[in-house]
Amino acid sequence: MSASNEELIGRADLNDLEAILSVTNTDVDEAIHAVTDNADAIFTWDYEKGRRPALNRLYEKAKTSQWNGETDLPWGTEVDQEAVVMANAAANMGGLGGGVDESIIADSPFAKWTEKEWIRVGVESQNWTLSQFMHGEQGALICTAKIVETVPWIDAKYYASTQVMDEARHVEVFARYLDDKLSGHYPINAHLKLLLDDIVNDSRWDMTYLGMQIMVEGLALAAFGFIHQLTTEPLLKQLLRYVMSDEARHVAFGVLSLKEYYAELTDAELAERQEFAFEAAVRMRDRFLQQEVWERMGLDVKAVLPLVMHAPQRQIFQSMLFSKIVPNCKKLGLLDANGGWLRSRFTDLGVIGFEDNPDTGEEYSMFQLAAGEVAGTA
């Protein structure tokens, strides 16, 4: 394997801020975005249900785990977003601006920030983060519909059809939370948009699985768990708990399906999947720099991003985002294929330490709650 960082992600240095910021979203004012889908729709005349028992069990579990975003969440909960920002900061960072090294920010705009600016950036950051999750969930909605079309196994088609419903519900509840409880949407981040475009554009059905089920959904599952643990807001906490129970099934679906398929691939074919996983990982890391938030705050993005990148809380968060992805790639054989190429790249990203975490194919059952149990927390 000889593909360089520059060939895969357009830059040699993973942390080249100039190159990262050069990726911009050019159609933020457009309501519609079209992507060419190059895949064939596959019919199968083999209707034998249960030939892949693990997928069949997921399908049966999905049928009994549906929840209603309209009626199962306590939408009457009052959300004072500024109060939530202050409570979250007090609970997790010792107060507004907590965890910031004053010696590092002494000559930066942050040094002059009052409580008002710290509250505002907390509000904007929450709006931005949940907006990107909402956009990613629509990507999952489209990609799972594509899996129904393109996967050749009936058990996988059955299960993927339940995930289409899950993803529609996720888009619905994130949009409602942003519209009714928070204070505004952000457009899709350019790095996330490029990744979703690449996943939809690829003609191979397993690349849709790898890009969406393993990479995007794996990152989302980790991020939801992190935010669920940190937030003090009860409606969001319950919303995330519902979504996490679905997402764990979705990632397990990808692991179980691809493990069988990847066992039959050649080294050259696996190399393409390794490169795709690495490119996806870098794009997802880059999107969490939140440059749109700093722009909206009126700051010089190039000047403040080095400070933001080295904030302890952000470094922990960005690292934890890969806590599901790395062990799942290991389970699929991608980490060590071709002389450990992906292992080396994940080492460069600083996330290889998660390789021995449980893969989602093993742990998804811990996320599953009976509908009555979840509703009982309302």
pLDDT in tens, 169-188: 999 999 999 999 999 889 99
The rounded mean pLDDT for the chain is: 88
**pLDDT of 374:** 44
Q: Quick one: average pLDDT of 117-124?
A: 93
User: How many helices and strands in the chain, by DSSP H and E?
Assistant: 19, 0
User: Measured between alpha carbons, how far is 328 from 312 in angstroms, rounded to an integer?
Assistant: 26
Q: Which residue has the higher pLDDT, 61 or 21?
A: 61
**pLDDT of 23:** 87
User: Measured between alpha carbons, how far is 342 from 273 in angstroms, rounded to an integer?
Assistant: 10
pLDDT of residue 303 exceeding 50: yes
User: Measured between alpha carbons, how far is 196 from 185 in angstroms, rounded to an integer?
Assistant: 19
**pLDDT of 306:** 83
**pLDDT of 104:** 61
**pLDDT of 108:** 78
**pLDDT of 366:** 56
| Of 320, 328, 375, 315, the residue nearest 355 (C-alpha) | 328
pLDDT of residue 370 exceeding 50: no
**pLDDT of 105:** 67
**pLDDT of 263:** 93
Structural contact between residues 222 and 323, judged by C-beta atoms closer than 8 angstroms: yes
Structural contact between residues 352 and 240, judged by C-beta atoms closer than 8 angstroms: no
**For 122-138, how does the pLDDT look when each residue is reduced to its tens digit (9 = 90+)?**
999 999 999 999 999 99
Residue type, 79: V
For residue 378, name the pLDDT band (cuts at 50, 70, 90): very low
**For 259-283, how does the pLDDT look when each residue is reduced to its tens digit (9 = 90+)?**
999 999 999 999 999 999 999 999 9
pTM, 2 dp: 0.90
**pLDDT of 207:** 95
For residue 150, name the pLDDT band (cuts at 50, 70, 90): very high
Q: Which residue has the higher pLDDT, 360 or 58?
A: 58
Residues ≥6 apart with Cβ < 8 Å to 88: 122, 230, 231, 232, 233
pLDDT of residue 74 exceeding 80: yes
Instruction: Sketch out the chain's domains with CATH numbers.
Output: 111-375 (1.20.1260.10)
pLDDT of residue 289 exceeding 70: yes
